[in-house]
Structure 1
């Protein structure tokens, strides 16, 4: 009926304008006014570029599939903190007796892929709440005031949908909160400032006795960028770190994603957890998925250990490429990778997981390392050893060819980054110093001193084992991939000889 009424109105207007035109009237001003009125009506109905989300249907509620905290692995501490905060919504009578003020906002901070979005979904399920999700970039427009309007409508929509569904609470999740919640510097970004001001106002308007109750959960991997007014108690009351999982957490995540996959009995997930040091939950899920894809390619009924090893390499470096290299270039790459592997075994015995000569991603060859245990604090000796491992490839090339190649570029980038860590941690001869006081010349001098001295030590240690290269070179050229145990056997057999 509404559709026909609009059509009749448009038809009557056109007939009237034609009649006035034939009667000798100038209808141009009427046409212009009608166009302006139509444009304003168009934007006010939520179809134009100037409008924010409308409460009618601008944002669909994210369906709360039965996603629970038990389905999230590797984040036991974060889950415990979050559940404790959510209990303020669930156990209202108990917290009222103790005089506890319910939390208004929870900030999840951590690297990408660690499960922040999953935690928010599980939070909505735990509290039996309406769940609305948004990204910070959705509130940014070129027109001033649009972002603020979208924030208002988002909170309004959460309350409306919660009442309609008969829920006592709603969870709003905003990913990439740093996009709209960045520090205000007094510049000309009025749109960003107005959006942030509106978000602060909405959070101030959340009261403990209102129904339905709103809980804002936000996620960021750049917490240092957020404005102080947003982080203070009374807005984001609780900051929960969602960090990369440790070995125990990685094993838990792998087991979760292995539940629906046919795994061969020879697969040791604890070993896979060791080899995936510093992997996020998303990367671990990808490892299991890629392993299943490799099994599918080979028409295998079960996922074998080899499939998982290939999957780890793919997630770390990318898929194998079809680069064809000359025999001389393959030999240079093999010597380069042996340099890395020998130095790794000399400095940290048992750390080499695989030495590969197959091109993968942007690399012509690679050495995969596995730390003996997760480590979070590093000494000068440890970091110097890490630099020597990265310089091992270039040192090996100089030993056998008298010069380096462009293949060492990535190694040098890593070495320079470690030098920066040494300087900023006060572990160099400069002592404790603010990195902002370092001029480019000072950075160049300290980097050259450290790298030159460690390169000399690396060459000296490798020169003493020149025979190891010749002993292992042919094996690597023929097999292309040598696992850590086989490589250590080669190394030990040469030492014994």
Structure 2
């Protein structure tokens, strides 16, 4: 109403000024300047913020914990914390302080946001979400105002929907909750965090609307200790990468709406995707379906999933193709990797190819039998041998090495340092940081040279196999682990 009256008075003054013959140029200039300033201020949220505005909250799709796979332990721990909200009457009788915050930590793509949405359904709560970057701007006081705004919005939305519980979810909270004192240029970050701390301190069990703050981050090391202490974020739920059983569950979930051929073995796919997050596995199932569509098929076959693994790891195939001589060297290089991999652990080669993907001209993919979290010295030495095998295969066949092995050398050096750091070198337990540079260099060189001698002897004995497999690989561009092992058995028998 006030806006309409102001506009009317302004228009009347303009008409009056024109009537009496005043020069209105300065007035028009000031009006234009004021309008531009008004637009900038309100669009940036200095006076009114749209964050968490209940009238603009989109209708969210309900999701339950049953639709989240591979996170059984995290879901169990989260449900235990959420039961404090569902059973608030018993909590009040026992004098238990309510949980104010739950923070989920873990790598990207593991399902932290999905678990927050499922928590809202589990507790029948209003769900209001925001990102940490939504709270911080260059204008002083905006972040603190937005923090207060989202808390008020959650309460208003719960009252409007006649619910007693509300969940505020803040994704990437490390942007908002960085350790205070690190941003000396201005205090906006600290003011925003202070506002969040004050709001969380004000949460009580007997409030008309019971609020629970949930947050997600993959950089918990950056966060201010005052926010992580008991009484604010009372629970830290670790949402880690899924194991083989979890990956199988996730693949089944993402394959429910896809027609799979009888040849598809999801257990084998789960075994080959060690280190994949839930987001990777969703992309894997989607890429497999896209590959089947490209071929005009009605069902997704196992080979599509196998190809999709390469695409998710390395990227799409590139049009770039090396010249024939370079292609032969790439084929020898990858065959060398595969040969030592089979020597170290039979059945470990999943596929090798000379197709360019991402930054690689070719690659050999290993197939881990089981998820491994502890490594022995023998295992690490075998991995170094596999890394060096490509360059040594080139040297045996062509008499020289190429720059294609530079990335292999970096990985081999890092693995050798891991052996020293873990106390498995000849000098025993040491501090890698305090080790003299020349001694460290000597130890790393000894580890690498020992494996070089071992691999070189094996490559010389299998030189004919390297060249014969190169011809097959150049013809087919990609061979599976089974085909490679068949070639190796034939060569051994001969």
> Same fold by TM (over 0.5)?
yes
**1: CA distance between counterparts of 2:47 and 2:150?**
13
Instruction: Specify the alignment match of 2:176 in structure 1.
Output: 180
Instruction: Specify the alignment match of 1:8 in structure 2.
Output: 8
Consecutive unaligned residues in structure 1, runs of 5 or more: none
Write the mapping of 1:108-123 to structure 2, written as runs, cut at 5 A.
Answer: 108-123=104-119
Deviations 1:330-349 (CA, angstroms, capped at 9, x unpaired): 11001000111011111111
Give yes or no for contact 2:101–2:214 (8 Å, CA) kept in 1: yes
**1: CA distance between counterparts of 2:409 and 2:28?**
69
Write the mapping of 1:177-216 to structure 2, written as runs, cut at 5 A.
Answer: 177-185=173-181, 187-188=183-184, 189-216=186-213
Given the alignment, which residue of 110, 127, 133 partners 1:131?
A: 127
Residue aligned with 1:47, SS: helix
Given the alignment, which residue of 141, 147, 156 partners 2:137?
A: 141
Instruction: Specify the alignment match of 1:88 in structure 2.
Output: 84
Q: Specify whether residues 40 and 358 from structure 1 end up closer, same or farther in structure 2 by C-alpha distance, changes over 3 A only.
A: closer
Residue aligned with 2:56, SS: coil
Give yes or no for contact 2:168–2:211 (8 Å, CA) kept in 1: yes
Could you tell me how far 1:151 is from its partner in structure 2? 1.2
Give yes or no for contact 2:53–2:153 (8 Å, CA) kept in 1: no
Aligned-residue CA RMSD in angstroms?
2.7
Give yes or no for contact 2:51–2:134 (8 Å, CA) kept in 1: no
Asked if residue 67 in structure 1 is aligned to residue 36 in structure 2, the reply is no
Instruction: Specify the alignment match of 1:337 in structure 2.
Output: 334
Given the alignment, which residue of 280, 285, 288 partners 2:282?
A: 285
Deviations 1:384-419 (CA, angstroms, capped at 9, x unpaired): 211211111111112222222121122122223323
Instruction: Specify the alignment match of 2:239 in structure 1.
Output: 242
- TM-score, normalisation: structure 2: 0.92
Instruction: Specify the alignment match of 2:221 in structure 1.
Output: 224
**1: CA distance between counterparts of 2:353 and 2:394?**
17
Given the alignment, which residue of 400, 404, 415 partners 2:401?
A: 404
Instruction: Specify the alignment match of 1:349 in structure 2.
Output: 346
Give yes or no for contact 1:62–1:131 (8 Å, CA) kept in 2: no
Could you tell me how far 1:54 is from its partner in structure 2? 4.4
- TM-score, normalisation: structure 1: 0.91
Could you tell me how far 1:47 is from its partner in structure 2? 3.1
Write the mapping of 1:308-327 to structure 2, written as runs, cut at 5 A.
Answer: 308-327=305-324
**2: CA distance between counterparts of 1:442 and 1:18?**
89
Give yes or no for contact 1:53–1:59 (8 Å, CA) kept in 2: no
Given the alignment, which residue of 165, 171, 189 partners 1:169?
A: 165
Q: Specify whether residues 301 and 127 from structure 1 end up closer, same or farther in structure 2 by C-alpha distance, changes over 3 A only.
A: same
Residue aligned with 1:482, SS: strand
Asked if residue 418 in structure 1 is aligned to residue 415 in structure 2, the reply is yes
Could you tell me how far 1:436 is from its partner in structure 2? 4.2
Instruction: Specify the alignment match of 2:466 in structure 1.
Output: 469
Q: Which moved more, 1:160-169 or 1:289-298?
A: 160-169
Give yes or no for contact 2:181–2:190 (8 Å, CA) kept in 1: no
Could you tell me how far 1:451 is from its partner in structure 2? 2.6
